[in-house]
Amino acid sequence: MPRFSVAEARQWGDQFVQFLQDTGREQESRRDTLRSIYNLEFRGRTDTKIPNFSCILYALRVTHRAQVHAESVHFKKEKRRVVVADQYRRPRTNAKALVSASATVPGQQPSSGPQVPQSRAKKWAEFIHEKHRIEIVSEHDQGNGHIRFPVVAGEPRTVTILVQNRGAEAVTLRRCQPHQQSQELSFTDEQGATQGQSLLLHPGGTYPIQVRCLTTCNGYFCAVVVFEFTKEPDEPFSIGRYIAAVAESQLAKDLGPSAPFQPYQASLQRPVTVITEDGIPPDSSLKNELEREIPLGTYQYPKSLKDTILLGPNASASSSWAAMWSLLEAPLQAENYRQKFQLLLHLEEIQMEVDIRRYDMQDVPMVQDRTLLVLDVPGVAENRPSVLKGDHLFAHLSSERDCSPLVQYKGYVHSVELEKVRLGFSSKLQKKFVNNLRFDVTFTFSRLPLQVQHRAATLAVQRGLSSLLFPSASCHKSLFTGTFQPRWFDRKLQANEEQCRAVTHIVTGMSRPAPYLIFGPPGTGKTVTLVEAIKQVWTCFKDARILACAPSNSAADLLCQRLIKDIPPRYVYRLIASSRSYQEVPADIRPCCNWDDEQSCYVYLSKEYLGRYRILITTLVTAGRSEDLGLSPPPTAGRPRAALQPGCEGSPAGVQQGGCGGGQAAGGPVLCRRTRMKARGGRMASQSRDDEAAPLHLSPRLVSANFAPGFFSHVFIDECGQAVEPESMVAIAGLLTAMDQETNPNGGQLVLAGDPQQLGPVLRSPLAIEHGLGISLLERLMLHNPLYKKSSGGYDPQFVTKLLWNYRSHEAILKIPNELFYDSELKACESDELDVRSLYCAWEELPKKGFPIIFHGVCGEDRREAKSPSFFNTAEIEVLVHYLKKLLQSRGKGGCPSVSPKEVGIISPYRKQVEKIRKAITSLDPVLRTLPDISLLKVGSVEEFQGQERRVILISTVRSCSEYLQLDQTFKLGFLKNPKRLNVAITRAKALLIVVGNPAVLSKDHHWQRFLRYCRAEGGYTGYPYEDESPAEDGLAADLHALRLSN
């Protein structure tokens, strides 16, 4: 038996206390219960010899970390040092350096996060500063070398800039010229300085320069002007000014910044010792019947990893950095699968700790509501930050922010109503509280999604899933003795060769143990194919158990809706997490979901009763919440009776023989909802959440239940490309057993459906992104596994099918995405009925009839406001509103069929632009705000539209200054530097696509340049005059670079 020192035992004790906190049992004080948790759960997480419970309890007591009184134990709150490790702010070997200093870009508002280099800010300050007492002034000065004045489109305006000599000696003005010519701005003077003629400026003298602006359209027109001087015997010198003329409507003015932009500044850059007073969590004594046999570890990242990131690849930490980098650079394989994904997930968590700080609030008041305190959190309704019942945050008195140690109070969320969050704090804070006391608030995120992904990576190795993750061949074993000759549920599939082929290969199982992939480009019927395959498996194999998953609630709901059209709901069970509002659940799937009508809460049946269903539908782990946060529903009041009934009333009659079981499906439980869902217990509070931003998940709960090996014969994952690989593994590891000729000959079928050319998961860590965490399981197999590689003859249909017929978009809209992303293989499917895709080809607003695309060029301005780092562009909103009114007021005139708001979608990559567009439509524009059903017009990010379609799509690209392109590339923001976002946005449109953007900036990206040239060539371009190879394009960026102020 190894002996442990007090220090070693204390370390294990500290880990046990953290384990209690992570599993929501930090309030447990009974000694016997703690001993059981330690022996049965905590010790089982590792094969390493660790001290017994008495040993760690003694160590915690003598080091004053615990108080022991007879049979009760109370753990003391640990002082901790708050340190964050921002991976964007550290130098990295073998990676592009990401600049982090904040600076002001000329003509733009300052930004937050990684910015243009600090040297640029210093150079700009020197460039605009007065020299030898020469000053450049104007009544339109904005500070920082900016001169900005308003103009009206179509009306010339001239303003004066004065060059003043405040010194005692004469100075020669050699010239005054814009560094690059502007179409809208011109410069004149009496003595020809703007033409390169020198003039002498005497002491006390003033010389005027006229700036004239004439523009045909609204926008933002700018130039950097250089004033060059000489003064004997000194060296020549220059002074610069950034001059901008702005033409905007009243709408654009109303949408302007609500407050000057304030760059984010981290409030806890220095290490601080913190003492935490725990709060009062909401009542959560509810339980459920679904077993928890597989424990969930804490999977905390080692402190040394954060230290390695903080220090970077310097001499003192080079060995740690080298070890980390070696694992990151190593190709993913079965031998390092767990270690590599755990490192990547740790890196992601470390960066999440940094990014959550951006939501912190200072000097905010709270008010008392009985035993709770109420905090206003702007943005919480949009999940910025995401806050749900059972979460917690930290608050300390603003007056004590500089104290050390700092006493902070942990507040648990009891409810969220609009932007008001009700919090339970400790009695110590309640006693000193008075209304409107000011606090600094720090938000947190749930670690549970990370934990279940860690566990999935571990289980994948423990359960021997390498033949699924790194397949090398098929066993060539068909599940049919004859030929599969189905009767199709969706008869339209019969005309689509690729869809029929995919369903056939899935049902026969010829790819096993390798997964089968459905590569579904936009509008090609990927989900239709997946649903048909599930129906055929259900019909043909009476012993098949199917788990169908998707990353979001909306995608999982869609699977359920389509399945129950042909399969009786008693065979289908839609598992929904308890933190989802029941009001969000579509009415048609409520009969087969886990909601109890009588008790108004969700219930979770045991494995025994879940086993009576043939098809379970749930979500993956993604960025959501889990009922494991102490919000579990009550246990059922009794065992619901269930009778197994053979037959398949919903299946097509007369399924052909050949392994289909004579057309009969195995029975499922015949349960009315009131019997099936009977439950007792407390009432559940529900929260309305944005589904795409915070999807809910039950797969981890199914894994914890520890179903018997081989229980699920098939696992289907839709939209697999949107999930990181460990997320997909949550639905596989512990739930699906790999096909084996001896032990599992009829199971182990994994089907992944998605499109690697569309948006993947949203991640924070640049190191994790760079080394593969952002690559989905589907994309990794298609990129790196020979079975799924495309050859000269196409893909091997035994393992993957690429769907080719597009049913959604007009062929003109489809053309560029098809060429850029799909090898020009997609084909627009012809329609025998009225083709909605051609409805707008005669619209009078089209620059060219028959071409249903408008690219409207706008020269706008990137703007920000208050503390939001998100961009908006009011000039683009003006144009969007113009087209929107033309569409919604057409009433069938002008070649534009009537269109309702719900058939129109507006996409923008920046949250602030989305917010401003919504404001313009619903409250500012007098015409649009009064239209019926205007609230049904969806405005959102590209991510919110993925998987959706609209008859008409309008896109606002926002970007008007390429100086921010590195920022976009770093954070995967915007359309530029992120071609998948471009692909998704364009392919949402069925009949009409309107893109509003700055052509000079967009053309910097070769994907956008291709689309822009296409629109120009086809006659679809309008708006701001633009020539493809214009030397003055994006003049500001060119000016700064030429003046050597860009780096």
Give the pLDDT confidence of 836-884 residue by residue, as tens digits. 999 999 999 999 999 999 999 999 999 998 877 788 999 999 999 999 9
| All residues at 6 or more sequence positions from 306 whose CB lies less than 8 Å from its CB, including other chains | 83, 85, 350
Instruction: Taking residues 657-672, report their average pLDDT.
Output: 36
User: 109-123, 312-326, 630-644, 815-829: lowest mean pLDDT where?
Assistant: 630-644
Looking at per-residue confidence, does 413 or 162 come out higher? 162
Rounded CA-CA distance 810/836 in Å is: 9
319-373: per-residue pLDDT in tens? 888 899 999 999 999 999 999 999 999 999 999 888 888 788 889 999 999 899 9
DSSP letter for 820, please: H
Instruction: Taking residues 599-616, report their average pLDDT.
Output: 86
| All residues at 6 or more sequence positions from 839 whose CB lies less than 8 Å from its CB, including other chains | 897, 951, 991, 992
CB 876 within 8 A of CB 956: yes
- pLDDT surpasses 70 at 1038: no
Q: Which residues are paired to 997 by β-bridges?
A: 857
At residue 1042 the predicted structure's pLDDT band, cuts being 50, 70 and 90, is low
Rounded CA-CA distance 112/961 in Å is: 16
At residue 972 the predicted structure's pLDDT band, cuts being 50, 70 and 90, is low
Distance of alpha carbon 1007 from the chain centroid:
22
Exposure string over 923-936, b if 16+ CB within 10 A, otherwise e: ebbeebeebeebee
Instruction: Taking residues 645-672, report their average pLDDT.
Output: 34
| All residues at 6 or more sequence positions from 817 whose CB lies less than 8 Å from its CB, including other chains | 522, 983, 986, 987
Q: Which two tokens stand for residue 905?
A: 């979608």
Instruction: Taking residues 509-514, report their average pLDDT.
Output: 95
Instruction: Taking residues 522-533, report their average pLDDT.
Output: 96
CB 629 within 8 A of CB 448: yes
pLDDT at 394: 94
- pLDDT surpasses 50 at 680: no
- pLDDT surpasses 50 at 11: yes
- pLDDT surpasses 60 at 682: no
Please state, as a whole number, how many other Cβ atoms lie within 10 Å of the Cβ of residue 403: 12
211-252: per-residue pLDDT in tens? 999 999 999 999 999 999 999 887 899 999 999 999 999 999
Angle between helices 874-888 and 911-919 (to 10 degrees): 50
729-750: per-residue pLDDT in tens? 999 998 999 998 888 888 899 9
The DSSP string of 408-457 is: EEEEEEEEEETTEEEEE--HHHHHH--TT-EEEEEE---SHHHHHHHHHH
403-445: per-residue pLDDT in tens? 888 899 999 988 888 778 999 999 999 988 988 789 999 998 8
299 φψ region: left (φ > 0), alpha (ψ -120 to 50), beta (else): left
Looking at per-residue confidence, does 851 or 114 come out higher? 851
pLDDT at 414: 86
Instruction: Taking residues 518-538, report their average pLDDT.
Output: 96
pLDDT at 553: 87
- pLDDT surpasses 60 at 101: no
Angle between helices 337-355 and 318-329 (to 10 degrees): 110
Q: Which two tokens stand for residue 651?
A: 């299946």
Query: What separation in angstroms does the CA of 135 have from each of 167, 174, 201, 227?
Result: 10, 15, 12, 10
253-277: per-residue pLDDT in tens? 999 999 888 776 555 445 568 899 9
- pLDDT surpasses 60 at 656: no
Nearest Cα residue to 160 out of 149, 144, 171: 149
Nearest Cα residue to 614 out of 544, 678, 677: 544
Instruction: Taking residues 457-469, report their average pLDDT.
Output: 94
- pLDDT surpasses 60 at 813: yes
Looking up tokens 């989802």 gives 580
At residue 640 the predicted structure's pLDDT band, cuts being 50, 70 and 90, is very low
Q: Which two tokens stand for residue 1004?
A: 């910097």
pLDDT at 615: 96
Rounded CA-CA distance 927/888 in Å is: 10
Looking at per-residue confidence, does 978 or 162 come out higher? 162
Rounded CA-CA distance 1047/1043 in Å is: 10
Q: Which two tokens stand for residue 532?
A: 């048909």
CB 450 within 8 A of CB 495: no
pLDDT at 89: 58
Rounded CA-CA distance 376/363 in Å is: 12
Rounded CA-CA distance 386/381 in Å is: 8
Rounded CA-CA distance 836/817 in Å is: 20
Rounded CA-CA distance 941/955 in Å is: 10
Q: Is 777 exposed, middle or buried (0-12, 13-18, 19+ CB in 10 A)?
A: buried
At residue 629 the predicted structure's pLDDT band, cuts being 50, 70 and 90, is very low
Q: Which amino acid is at 369?
A: D
User: Which runs of consecutive H residues, i.e. helices, occur in 972-1034?
Assistant: 979-986, 999-1002, 1006-1017
Query: What separation in angstroms does the CA of 1012 have from each of 812, 856, 1027?
Result: 13, 10, 11
The rounded mean pLDDT for the chain is: 82
Instruction: Taking residues 634-659, report their average pLDDT.
Output: 30
CB 717 within 8 A of CB 753: yes
Rounded CA-CA distance 284/310 in Å is: 39
Rounded CA-CA distance 643/850 in Å is: 60
Nearest Cα residue to 733 out of 469, 346, 451, 446: 469
1004 φψ region: left (φ > 0), alpha (ψ -120 to 50), beta (else): alpha
pLDDT at 699: 64
Q: Which two tokens stand for residue 700?
A: 């981890």
Rounded CA-CA distance 224/241 in Å is: 6
Q: Is 324 helix (H, G, I), strand (E, B) or coil?
A: helix
Rounded CA-CA distance 1035/1032 in Å is: 5
928-958: per-residue pLDDT in tens? 999 989 999 999 989 889 889 999 999 999 9
The DSSP string of 494-515 is: GG-HHHHHHHHHHHHTTTTTSP
Rounded CA-CA distance 699/705 in Å is: 10
Phi, psi of 446 (to 5 degrees): -75, 135
Please state, as a whole number, how many other Cβ atoms lie within 10 Å of the Cβ of residue 831: 11
